[in-house]
């Protein structure tokens, strides 16, 4: 089954836990946590304290997407704050494999992500080392942008590579996903779907999550 990873970046932060409470009693297993440092991307989101505070109140798998420079400096602190997977950007560090190994040494999942303009070939050798590859289908930094259609070709190419090499790496997609376009990213080969504004930006958060799972049921992997 495809999994949904709603991005809390689109929550009303003055009611963060209230928004998360509206996701309860659905099939949801994970949430997506976007950390931005204002340097790697032109936006600043939140850090350890926010993650720790929601960790204590939510059992979800914390899918943590670091859009920060030199992430190796902070891996332990994100793990301590409650991350279950830490995904780093290929472009954010000199030696992505060192960071991936550090994440794995702490007993949590590791992911690799790349900007829409970064060549896919750069990350292929890393796929055997990670639990997930996060395909950015918008320029990282902000929620609510439009899906870049050429991301579908990237997903197809990754699906092909992962299947041919028999790798366990999941394909996750992030940016511009809505109930109206999610079926085509699943058909292209995605296992995990990030969606921010189309879930937490909507009045009926729970109803939106249920809509996604209805679509997943019709598009089995």
Catalytic, out of 34, 37, 63, 131: 34
To the question of whether residue 176 is assigned a binding role by annotation, the answer is yes
By CB under 5 A, residue 174 contacts Zn ion: yes
User: Which stretches does DSSP call E strand in the chain?
Assistant: 3-6, 30-36, 61-67, 85-89, 109-114, 132-136, 170-174, 192-195
Question: For ligand DX5, which stretch binds (CB under 6 A), given 76-84, 95-103, 193-201, 203-211?
Answer: 193-201
Count residues near ligand DX5 (CB under 6 A).
Answer: 22
Minimum distance of Zn ion from residue 218's CB (angstroms): 25
Q: How far is the CB of 194 from ligand DX5 (least distance, A)?
A: 5
The one catalytic residue in 37, 63, 131, 174 is 174
Binding test (CB under 5 A) with Zn ion, winner from 34, 191, 192, 198:
34
**Distance of alpha carbon 151 from alpha carbon 140, whole angstroms:** 13
Q: Map the footprint of ligand DX5 across residues 26-55, applying CB under 6 A.
A: 32, 34
Chain-centroid distance of CA 24 in Å reads 19
Site for ligand DX5 in 52-81 (CB under 6 A): 65
Distance between CA atoms of residues 31 and 107, nearest Å: 19
- Contact call for residue 189 and ligand DX5 (CB under 6 A): no
Return left, alpha or beta for 175; rule: phi > 0 is left, psi -120 to 50 is alpha, else beta.
Answer: left
Scanning residues 61 to 120, which ones bind Zn ion (CB under 5 A)? 65
DSSP 137-183: SS-TT-SSPPP-TTHHHHHHHHHHHHHHTT---EEEEESS--TTTHH
- Pattern 147-176, ligand DX5, x by CB under 6 A: ---------------------------xxx
Assess whether 183 carries a catalytic annotation: no
Q: Is 174 a catalytic residue?
A: yes
The residues near 178 (Cβ < 8 Å, ≥ 6 apart) are 147, 195, 198
Q: Give the nearest distance from C-beta 125 to Zn ion in angstroms.
A: 23
Residue 6 — φ and ψ, nearest 5°?
Answer: -65, 135
Bind-site residues: 7, 32, 34, 65, 141-144, 174-176, 196-197
Active-site annotation, residues: 34, 174
């Amino acid at each position: 089954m495809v999994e949904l990873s709603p991005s809390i970046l689109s929550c009303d932060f003055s009611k963060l836990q209230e928004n998360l409470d509206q996701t309860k009693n659905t099939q949801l297993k994970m949430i997506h946590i976007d950390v931005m440092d204002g340097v790697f991307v032109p936006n600043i989101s939140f850090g350890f304290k926010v993650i720790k505070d929601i960790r204590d109140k939510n059992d979800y798998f914390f899918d943590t997407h670091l859009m920060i420079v030199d992430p190796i400096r902070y891996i332990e602190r994100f793990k301590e704050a409650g991350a279950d997977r830490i995904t780093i950007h290929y472009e954010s560090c000199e030696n992505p494999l060192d960071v991936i190994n550090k994440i794995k040494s702490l007993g949590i999942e590791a992911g690799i992500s790349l900007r829409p303009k970064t060549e896919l070939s750069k990350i292929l050798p890393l796929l055997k080392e990670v639990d997930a590859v996060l395909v950015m289908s918008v320029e990282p930094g902000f929620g609510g942008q439009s899906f870049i259609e050429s991301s579908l070709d990237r997903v197809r190419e990754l699906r092909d590579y992962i299947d041919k090499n028999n790798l366990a790496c999941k394909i996750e997609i992030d940016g511009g996903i809505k109930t109206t376009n999610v079926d085509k990213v699943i058909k292209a080969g995605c296992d995990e779907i990030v969606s921010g504004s189309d879930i937490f930006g909507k009045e009926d958060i729970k109803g939106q999550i249920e809509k996604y799972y209805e679509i997943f049921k019709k598009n089995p992997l």
